[in-house]
Amino acid sequence: MPSGFDKKRILIVHPEGNINNNPNLTGIVEILCESGCEVDIYSPRRDHIYQHTPCRGSRLVLIDGEGLSVEGMFVLSGQSFSTEQQISDYLREKFGCYDLAIGVDRGIIDAALIAQANDIEYALISYEIFFGKETGSEFKRPVIKACQWLDFAVCQDPVRARYLAVENGISLKKIINIPVAGRQTREASKSYYLHDKLSIPRDKRIVLFMGSIDKWSGVDLITQSVINWPDPWVLVLHNRYGLDDHTRGYFEKYKDSNKIFFSTDPVVDPN
C-alpha cells in the first residue's frame, strides 16, 4: 500500500453501485478522505437506486452502459478496441492520475486492469465470496486472475478470510479483517414500527429477514418453514430496493399469508 495517505488519489471500482446503502464502504471512503485522500468511486448508473457522492473529498462517477460484461468488466463499457495495447493506452489516459485502485467484489477485475496499465498498487474489498463450485469456472476465472498480483485484500473475519484465500487464490498474509459495520453506534430502542406499518398485531413476534430476497440467499428455505413456526412468530421480508423483480415473485406468492409480510419502506432514521 502506498506509504502515507496525504494527497493520494484513490480509485474504487464498485459494480453494485449502492454505496449509499453500504455504511461500511461509505465509512471507509470517509476515513480515507479525512486522511487527506481524494477518492473517486466508479459505478454503473442504476436508475432504481439512490446514487450520490458519499462525502466531501470523494466523487461518484456513474457510467452509462449495460452493466458488467461476460468478463466481469464495466469501465470499458461502450468502448471498442482491436488490440490489448489500445486497451492499455485507454486505461492509462483515463485512469493515469491514481495512486491506488480498489475493486469491490468483482470490481477487482477492472481494478487489476487499471493498476497493471498504470503500474500502481491495487486491492480487493470483499463483501461477497463467489464459490467456484456454484458459479462455474467461466464466472470465477477472471476473478482469480485479477487477484493474482494484488497488494492486499479486505475481508470481514478470519473464517471468511480463509474461504476467500482459497477461492480467489490470495495469501492469508495479504488479507486484513474489518467487520462489516458503519462508523456510528446507536443504542437501540424497542418500537412497534413494523407491527403498525404492516398491520401485524402487537402480540406477534417478528423474525426480520433483510437483504437479497432471492433463492441464493436461502429465503426459499425460510419461507417454506414458516408454516411450522409457533403461533406468535411471523416473518417480515425487507429488501432495500422495495418490490424489485426478484422480490415481486415472492410477494405474489405470499401476499395473502397471515404469517409472511413484506416491508417496502426505504431504510431511514426514525429519529
Pair 213, 237: CB distance under 8 Å: yes
Integer Cα distance of 160 and 127 in angstroms: 10
Please, are residues 116 and 92 in contact by the beta-carbon 8 Å criterion?
no
CA 116, 117, 123, 125: dihedral to nearest 10 degrees? -130
Determine the pLDDT at residue 2. Answer: 47
Ordered mean pLDDT values, 10 residues apiece, the chain (271 residues) = 68 94 95 96 89 96 70 75 89 94 96 96 94 86 95 97 96 95 82 93 95 84 94 91 80 91 69 43
Query: According to the model, what pLDDT value does residue 132 have?
Result: 86
pLDDT score for 190: 85
What string of DSSP letters covers 206-249?
EEEEES--SGGGTHHHHHHHGGGS-TTEEEEEE-TT-S-HHHHH
| Structural domain spans, the chain | 9-177, 193-263
Is the four-CA dihedral 133, 138, 142, 145 of positive or negative sign? positive
Note whether 61 and 71 are within 8 A (CB). no
Whether 91 and 117 have beta carbons less than 8 Å apart is answered as yes
Is domain 9-177 given the CATH code 3.40.50.2000 in the classification? Answer: yes
H/E element, 42: strand 38-44
